[in-house]
Amino acid sequence: MFAVRTALRTQTSVASRGYATAAKAQSLKERLAELIPKEIENVKAVRAAHGHKSFGEVTVDQAYGGMRGIKGMIWEGSVLDSEEGIRFRGMTIPECQAALPTAEGGSEPLPEALFWLLVTGEVPTQEQVKGLSAEWAARATLPKFVEELIDRCPNTLHPMSQFSLAVTALNHDSAFAKAYAEGTHKRDYWKTTYEDSMDLLAKLPVVAARIYQNVYGNGKVAAIDPSKDWSANFATMLGYGDNASFVELMRLYMTLHSDHEGGNVSAHTGHLVGSALSDPFLSYAAALNGLAGPLHGLANQEVLRWIQKMQSQIGEDATDAQVEEYCWETLKTGVIPGYGHAVLRKTDPRYTSQREFALKHIPDDKLFKLVAQVYKIAPNVLLKAGKAKNPWPNVDSHSGVLLNAYGFSQQNYYTVLFGVSRALGVTAQLIWDRALGMPLERPKSFSTEAIKKMFADKA
Ligand SMILES: CC(C)(COP(=O)(O)OP(=O)(O)OC[C@H]1O[C@@H](n2cnc3c(N)ncnc32)[C@H](O)[C@@H]1OP(=O)(O)O)[C@@H](O)C(=O)NCCC(=O)NCCS
């Protein structure tokens, strides 16, 4: 799709061609309105040139094996390479850290900037990012009944279930659902999908913080400060706004967990449900239910539990031999959480950047040291055990220990943070799904009997 470039440069060149003026920073919606017609033509040309070509065969094993590696989906925001990890619109995580605008005095990219990149393929200007922060702050208010709905949930209901429930309920005010019911033309679907996506992104931290304060705090959520960025407001609502290093962690966390191409359970679910023209709230609530599974986002909460259990069993200064034995013990009854991946075959760069953050901000934290020790040992154990295709750590392997170092120790809540972030990637794609007129998704399935018949006369 689009090559990465800075919006500033693009605006200048666009202006020099006599179109939009560069006098004021464009909003994301204005920029999208310019990009969409060109991209529709681009996709038409790609389909005309390559539409009839095959880009891979499918084996019966793949159908039984969770559809691993089957090529059957378009996802614009990011591509995952099994060796080098994720690239957002062609940019690696270190490249994003170097190029995307940061907060004043901060050094981590702002998730608002990443969202702009995911949607447009362009690195935004500081001013455009500020515009997004302000817009999300302005859209953050929750309908009263959604607040009440969250407040009525028992503390014993998992935070992810509360989260999904509240996001479903936000569909009450969906601009897309309303426009659809009024018979809006298909070519304009993206506009209300965009509005809903912006509302969703704006409200998610408020929903998430309300759940957090109800379950673990005093039930009170601080007001949104319109002069602050998305992550700073979220950190404030969680009660950590005064800790500049935690606020930076939130910016990094929200950026890293945003998108991991299209086939992972949460992204794929959001896209699939969206293909039925369910609005972004319904689509994303479905995605959250997938994220809540232990093999996906919930691993996030499992890792800290596992590390803490190890620490309590073998003490603070574990030897390598003790850690190794603990890993082998774990394998007798389950998986080593935070290790392995369905696509990646190397250390997840999202693990690496969290490790770098830890080295900079919490180098002496005991659990961080244990995580680093596990990194030396667990891959060899998994290799010797011989089952996992990837013995290296994934994103979840580090996040819990970082949060815990700041006293943010409520593991059951960790997947909610992941859920706030993943909306950036899912909504960016939903907007393009509507802009490009993506159809209802409907792959073909077969029964085991049908497969037997299909190959009955073949060797
Ligand atoms: C991520 C995960 C679900 C990928 O699953 P996958 O694509 O099926 O992984 P593989 O193809 O490598 O699995 C092959 C075998 O190795 C096992 N395996 C994979 N990762 C393992 C791990 N971390 N610990 C122990 N065994 C593991 C699988 O359970 C499977 O065993 P089986 O044949 O008995 O069913 C898997 O690696 C896992 O369960 N990891 C731990 C949970 C986790 O960290 N999830 C977050 C992912 S971002």
Give the model confidence (pLDDT) of 319-357 as tens digits.
999 999 999 999 999 999 999 998 899 999 999 999 999
Q: What's the pLDDT tens digit per position in 49-70?
A: 999 999 899 999 999 999 999 9
Query: Which tokens hold the place of 60?
Result: 């019966």
Q: Is 185 a catalytic residue?
A: no
What per-residue confidence (pLDDT) applies to 341? 92
Choice between 188 and 7, residue whose per-residue pLDDT is larger: 188
Kindly list the domain boundaries of the chain, sorted by start residue. Answer: 299-405
Nearest protein Cα to ligand 1, atom 35: 387
37 vs 34: CA distance, rounded Å: 7
- Tokens 């569909």 identify what position? 171
Mean pLDDT over each residue of the chain, to the nearest integer: 93
Mutate to test the pocket of ligand 1, among 261, 339, 348, 350 (most ligand atoms within 8 A of CB): 339
Q: Which pLDDT band, with edges at 50, 70 and 90, does 21 fall under? A: very low
Q: What's the pLDDT tens digit per position in 378-428?
A: 999 999 999 999 999 999 999 999 999 999 999 999 999 999 999 999 999
Is the distance from the beta carbon of residue 396 to the nearest atom of ligand 1 less than 6 Å?
yes
- To the nearest whole percent, how much of the chain has pLDDT over 70? 94
Contacts of 214-221 spanning 24+ positions with Cβ under 8 A: 214/150, 214/151, 214/153, 214/155, 215/155, 215/159, 215/162, 215/410, 215/413, 216/410, 216/413, 219/151
Is the distance from the beta carbon of residue 299 to the nearest atom of ligand 1 less than 6 Å?
yes
What per-residue confidence (pLDDT) applies to 300? 79
247: CB partners within 8 A, 6+ apart:
103, 106, 231, 232, 235, 240, 241
Nearest protein Cα to ligand 1, atom 8: 342
**136-168 burial: b if 16+ Cβ within 10 Å, else e:** bbebbebeeebbebbeebeeeebbbebbbbbbb
Give me the catalytic one of 158, 268, 271, 296. Answer: 296
Query: What is 88-124 written as a DSSP string?
Result: ETTB-HHHHHHHS-B-TT--SBPHHHHHHHHHHSEEP
Q: With a cut of 90, say whether residue 287 has pLDDT above it.
A: yes
43 vs 321: CA distance, rounded Å: 55
Q: What's the pLDDT tens digit per position in 366-385?
A: 999 999 999 999 999 999 99
Query: Which tokens hold the place of 342?
Result: 């369905």
What per-residue confidence (pLDDT) applies to 281? 98
Q: Is 151 a catalytic residue?
A: no
Is the distance from the beta carbon of residue 336 to the nearest atom of ligand 1 less than 6 Å?
yes
Nearest protein Cα to ligand 1, atom 7: 342
354: CB partners within 8 A, 6+ apart:
252, 256, 395, 398, 399, 402
Choice between 7 and 96, residue whose per-residue pLDDT is larger: 96
Is the distance from the beta carbon of residue 187 to the nearest atom of ligand 1 less than 6 Å?
no
Is the distance from the beta carbon of residue 79 to the nearest atom of ligand 1 less than 6 Å?
no
Q: With a cut of 50, say whether residue 7 has pLDDT above it.
A: no
Is the distance from the beta carbon of residue 335 to the nearest atom of ligand 1 less than 6 Å?
yes
316 vs 407: CA distance, rounded Å: 18
Is the distance from the beta carbon of residue 398 to the nearest atom of ligand 1 less than 6 Å?
no
Q: Is 396 a catalytic residue?
A: yes
274 vs 193: CA distance, rounded Å: 10
Q: What is the largest CA-CA distance in the chain?
A: 71
Structure-derived torsion over alpha carbons of residues 101, 106, 109, 113, reported in degrees to the nearest 10: -40
Mean pLDDT of 78-88: 93
Q: Which pLDDT band, with edges at 50, 70 and 90, does 24 fall under? A: low
- Beta partners for residue 122, in sequence order: 5
What per-residue confidence (pLDDT) applies to 217? 97
Nearest protein Cα to ligand 1, atom 19: 388
Q: Of ligand 1's atoms, which has the minimum distance to the CA of residue 338?
A: 44
Q: Which pLDDT band, with edges at 50, 70 and 90, does 4 fall under? A: low
Angle between helices 189-216 and 414-435 (to 10 degrees): 170
Nearest protein Cα to ligand 1, atom 26: 335
User: From 1.10.230.10, 1.10.10.10, 1.10.260.40, 3.40.50.720, which CATH number describes the 299-405 domain?
Assistant: 1.10.230.10
Is the distance from the beta carbon of residue 389 to the nearest atom of ligand 1 less than 6 Å?
yes
